[in-house]
């Protein structure tokens, strides 16, 4: 089917057994390096930890079970902007439910929201697309991709599904895309809910910060002190993709490193997020060969990392406000929802706290719908 087709076609995940056999064989034949001197994670993912999770992936993890779970959600493909776009579309039993499109982050996939969907469908028609280059969506064709271009695809998708009034939500990469949807379609978007990220100071703001705000900023510095993946993937994405694409353990190590850094408490990734959910995400990356293509948001950027600013076209709510600073967020956003103490120990809150995340999404859209 041509990527230019605007038909909405049903889609199912159907993994060839040969691909799973190849994965298991590669895991069994891993050439393990020596552990470098240093404590804990000071040199990166420890060999012992990675070996243990690799053994579980090869011997106990059941992809077929996860594949069946994911196929329990209605999935589709359609062509927009020359791209095949994969998406989940789970309708509520409520006729008057608000349509809601959710955008996952990096290095994640639509799996990020799988635990959340059943918690939202009492109140929302849920749409979860795979960002181009991730999972089963086609990789971007050519250069020039940014969050605004993805947002225009999302607008076209929601209109193609017949929705003329809807909400948007996202975190991480989704916190950049979701506000752009509102900018592109303000007449139809009722509100933007993001996990976090707006309201962080820029260089010019630093001299005017209060002592309390400086303390908040210091908390962010402790969390964000890790591998600069934005710089790394701007510099040589093709070079790094060879290892991730050829070795499932190399790919798993990279994902685990980032999931560890994206935690706020120092806990191991599988102490905060369900182990099978982490490995479902990793397996999806492996089976779709998207470790490189999913990095476009970094290698297409032309400058240093910058936090999302948001938008002022429609109301905005966040799951976690602090350590961001509300008065700074309000320069670019119409904030109507800024909780001070929602639970969470991880950047990918939908995977860690699906109940709390769903409750907060409902609370925000109850104010704006």
Q: What is the pLDDT along the chain (369 residues), one digit of tens a residue?
A: 445 578 999 999 999 999 999 999 999 999 999 999 999 999 999 999 999 999 999 999 999 999 999 999 999 999 999 999 999 999 999 999 999 999 999 999 999 999 999 999 999 999 999 999 999 999 998 999 999 999 999 999 999 999 999 999 999 999 999 999 999 999 999 999 999 999 999 889 999 999 989 988 887 766 667 899 999 999 999 999 999 999 999 999 999 999 999 998 989 999 999 999 999 999 999 999 999 999 999 999 988 889 999 999 999 999 999 889 999 999 999 999 999 989 999 999 999 999 999 999 999 999 999
Look at residue 221 in the predicted model and tell me its pLDDT. Answer: 65
pTM for the predicted model, two decimal places: 0.96
Q: Is residue 8 part of a domain?
A: no
Q: Is residue 340 part of a domain?
A: yes
CATH code for position 57: 3.40.50.1820
Domain total of the chain:
1
Q: Is residue 125 part of a domain?
A: yes
Q: Is residue 335 part of a domain?
A: yes
Look at residue 2 in the predicted model and tell me its pLDDT. Answer: 47
Q: Is residue 324 part of a domain?
A: yes
Q: Is residue 15 part of a domain?
A: no
Q: Is residue 311 part of a domain?
A: yes
CA distance 147 to 296: 10
Q: Is residue 27 part of a domain?
A: no
Look at residue 224 in the predicted model and tell me its pLDDT. Answer: 64
Q: What residue numbers bound the domain in which 252 lies?
A: 45-368
């Amino acid at each position: 089917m041509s990527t230019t087709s605007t038909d909405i076609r049903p889609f199912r995940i159907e993994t060839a057994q040969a691909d799973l056999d190849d994965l298991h064989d590669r895991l069994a034949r891993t050439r393990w390096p020596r552990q470098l001197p240093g404590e804990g994670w000071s040199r990166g993912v420890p060999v012992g930890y990675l070996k243990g999770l690799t053994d579980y992936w090869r011997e106990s993890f059941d992809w077929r079970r996860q594949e069946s779970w994911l196929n329990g959600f209605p999935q589709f493909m359609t062509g927009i902007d020359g791209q095949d776009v994969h998406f989940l579309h789970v309708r509520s039993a409520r006729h008057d439910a608000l349509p809601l499109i959710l955008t996952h982050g990096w290095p994640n996939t639509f799996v990020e929201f799988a635990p959340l969907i059943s918690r939202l469908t009492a109140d929302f028609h849920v749409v979860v697309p795979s960002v181009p280059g991730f999972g089963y969506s086609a990789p971007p064709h050519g250069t020039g991709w940014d969050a605004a271009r993805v947002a225009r695809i999302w607008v076209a998708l929601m209109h193609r599904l017949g929705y003329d009034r809807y909400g948007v939500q996202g975190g991480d990469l989704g916190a950049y895309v979701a506000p752009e949807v509102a900018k592109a379609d303000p007449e139809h978007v009722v509100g933007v809910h993001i996990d976090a990220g707006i309201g962080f100071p820029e260089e010019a703001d630093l001299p005017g910060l209060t002592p309390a705000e400086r303390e908040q900023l210091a908390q962010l510095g402790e969390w964000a002190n890790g591998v600069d993946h934005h710089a790394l993937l701007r510099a040589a994405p093709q070079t790094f993709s060879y290892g991730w694409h050829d070795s499932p353990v190399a790919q798993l190590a990279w994902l685990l490193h980032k999931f560890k850094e994206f935690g706020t408490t120092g806990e191991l990734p599988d102490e905060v997020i369900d182990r099978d959910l982490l490995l479902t995400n990793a397996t999806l990356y492996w089976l779709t060969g998207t470790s490189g293509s999913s990095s476009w948001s970094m290698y297409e950027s032309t400058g240093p990392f910058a936090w999302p600013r948001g938008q002022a076209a429609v109301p905005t709510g966040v799951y976690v406000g602090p350590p961001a600073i509300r008065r700074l967020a309000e320069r670019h956003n119409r904030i109507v929802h800024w909780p001070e103490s929602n639970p969470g120990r991880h950047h990918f809150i939908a995977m860690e706290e699906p109940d709390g995340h769903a409750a907060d999404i409902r609370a925000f859209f109850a104010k704006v719908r």
